[in-house]
Each structure stands twice: as structure tokens, then as C-alpha cells.
Amino acid sequence: MNATELLSIVVPCYNEEEVLPIFFDAVQKECEKLKNCDVEFIFVNDGSKDKTLHLLRNLATSYPTTVRYVSFSRNFGKEAGLYAGLEHAKGDYIVVMDADLQDPPELLSEMLQILQESNGEIDCVGTRRVTRDGEPPIRSFFAKQFYKLINHISDTDIVDGARDFRMMTRQMVDAILSITEYNRFSKGIFSWVGFNTHYLDYKNKERAAGETSWSFWQLFKYSIDGIVAYSDVPLSIASITGFLSFFASLILALIIIVRTLVFDDPTSGWPSLACIILAIGGMQLFCLGILGKYLGKMFLETKKRPIYIVKEDEHSRGNLNA
């Protein structure tokens, strides 16, 4: 391996002031074990409301050759943070990590070794949680169901328990950056671009400090975005629902005619009519909601808005403070 090779560590941050110093110290110690490899940190401040940006400024001042940062004008979301970090990374190898230390830094040396010794056969070393200890049971249940569902209805294989924590070659990262869509789902993109991936299993670790910014509702919406981004099955469900409701209406109409003409048993008035209207109306709204979700994503794509907007980085800080 040449000494000129560089490892870029991309770290999206949102309100991570409590854990950031702990994370940096822990990763630095692991990076000292990497032989013949320079390291750079790219921190992405995703509109944090605490002192995260202040800490990043101090780190960039204390370690000007190894620490770089990008600060957004507002919160654009983790997907934008990942994209920005990959876009600013200069390394021959790029690793994505969360700042909460749920991604074990001790795996870095093993990940790098696998890529180096593969002779180009492996393009990515990913990580996969084999346990979910410490996670709320309801979150674990829905996470497992999500992976089962999306792998069943999508052509893109998304590994159950796979984390964003992965080390990639420059070629793979360039392929990911070539996908400039506004609505991003990185777990799907990592798989969709292809390339050979080797997974390392590890047991779940809890946050070293602070609280997660991901609520159950946010994770649920994120999973819906993933399904919409990588499967058109929901559109088929809308079509099938419409066909079944039409077919059921024909059957019910036939039953009513037979009961009236043969058994002289006229159907009750408003109760049955109200039920039919509510049922059909509900199915219509359900189908319109599915169509609206896809149209909404298309609408955002056609606007061609930037994925993120940078307000400050380690180079522009002096100008901002002037």
C-alpha cells in the first residue's frame, strides 16, 4: 500500500454536542492503528441547534490537517448529510459513521484490511447488526417487518440489520454521487449501484451519550420513503383495490336484485347505502393517497432543488467571522 492513500471518515451530525468529543477521541485511537494510511475527518453539521458547530470549529482549529467540516444553512436531513460528506471526501477509501458510537470504531482496521487485501474483488465492507439489544421492542418488530416487506416487493436487495456504517472504494462512492436524486434512501442506493459488498456482523451498541434524534414516527416515514423509492408495488395495490371494489359492487348488486325479485325482500335503505359509500370512499382515498405519494416525489424531483445548502465550512469561517 502506498503512503499517499487516504481514508476519509464521513460523520453526519445533528445535535451531537454530548457525544462528539467522545466519538472523536475513540476514532482517533483506532486510526492510530492504521498503518501507512492518512486519515481525514469530514463532519457535516446538519443544522444542529446545540453547540455541535462550535465543537467542530474547535476541532478544525486544533487539527487543521485532518479535520474538515461542512455546516448546512438549516436541517436538511441525514440523507443530505451523507451525500454532502461523500461529495467532500477526498480519500481513496471512504467510511460513513454515526457520531453516537453505535458504529464500533474498532472495526475500522478490519474493514480497511479486507479492502486492501481483496485486490479489487471487494468494493465495500458493510456492517450488520445481529442483535437489537437495548432497542424498544416495537421498533425492532417494525424494523424486521420493513426489511421483509421491501425485499419482497422490490428488486433491490436490502440486507436486514445493515447499517450505513460501511467503508467503500473511491469507485463505488463516485457511482453513488452520480445519483443526484433529491429524494434519497441511502440503504437502497448502496445496494442499487451494485459492487461487491462483504458484511461484518456485530452486536448492537447503545449510544455513548445524548439522545437519538430519530423518533418512531420519523423512522416510519423514512421506511415509507424507502418503499416508494424502490418499488412500484403500492401503485399495483391501488389498481388491484379499485378492481376488487368494482367486482365486489357487481356481486352485491346481483345479490340485491335476486333478493328483491325472487324473495321479495327489498334491501334496507340508508344503512346499507351509507356503508357502501363509506367503503368505496375509503378505498378511493387510500388509492389517491398512494398516487399522491408518488406524484409528490416526482414534483420535488422536477423542481431540481439542491440536496443541501452550505452556510459555512473550515475555509469560509474566517470570512463569516470578519
Residues 82-107 as b or e (16 or more Cβ within 10 Å = b): bbbbbbbbebbbbbbbbbbbbbbbeb
Considering the entire predicted model, what is its pTM? 0.70
Q: Cα–Cα distance between 159 and 228 in angstroms, integer? A: 18
Query: Which range marks the domain in which residue 268 is found?
Result: 233-302
The CA–CA distances, whole Å, from 179 to 173, 192, 240 equal: 10, 10, 32
Q: Is 175 in the same domain as 240?
A: no
1 domain-assigned? no
| Helices and strands per DSSP (H, E), number in the chain | 11, 8
- In this predicted structure, what is the pLDDT of residue 71? 92
**In whole angstroms, what is the distance from residue 103 CA to residue 98 CA?**
6
- Establish if 225 belongs to a structural domain: no
Q: Is residue 226 part of a domain?
A: no
Residues 264 and 132 occupy one common structural domain: no
* b/e sequence 115-127, b meaning 16+ C-beta within 10 Å: beeeeeebbbbbb
Residues 167 and 246 in one domain: no
The rounded distance, in Å, linking the Cα atoms of 193 and 255 is 53
What local confidence, expressed as pLDDT, does residue 134 receive? 57
**Are 150 and 264 part of one and the same domain?**
no
Where does 5-136 have alpha helices with state H?
20-31, 52-62, 78-88, 108-117
Q: What integer pLDDT is reported at residue 32 of this predicted model? A: 84
Indicate whether 223 belongs to any domain.
Answer: no
User: 95 with 188, same domain?
Assistant: yes
pLDDT value, residue 86: 92
Total of domains in the chain: 2
pLDDT of residue 320: 43
Are the CB atoms for 60 and 68 separated by under 8 Å?
A: yes
Does 314 share its domain with 210? yes
Torsional class of 101: left (φ above 0), alpha (ψ -120 to 50), beta (otherwise): left
Model pLDDT, residue 321: 39
User: Which segments in the chain show pLDDT lower than 50?
Assistant: 1, 210, 318-322
Cβ(75)–Cβ(299) under 8 Å? no
CATH number at residue 111: 3.90.550.10
pLDDT of res. 11 = 92
Residue keyed to cell 498503518: 35
Q: What is the DSSP annotation of 235-275?
A: HHHHHHHHHHHHHHHHHHHHHHHHHHHTS--PPPSHHHHHH
* Cβ atoms 69, 43 nearer than 8 A: yes
The reported pLDDT for the residue numbered 305 is 81
| Residue 75 covered by a domain | yes
> How far is C-alpha 97 from the geometric centre of its chain's CA atoms?
13
pLDDT reported for residue 147: 63
Domain co-membership, 83 together with 173: yes
- What does the alpha-carbon distance between residue 205 and residue 19 come to, in Å, rounded to a whole number? 14
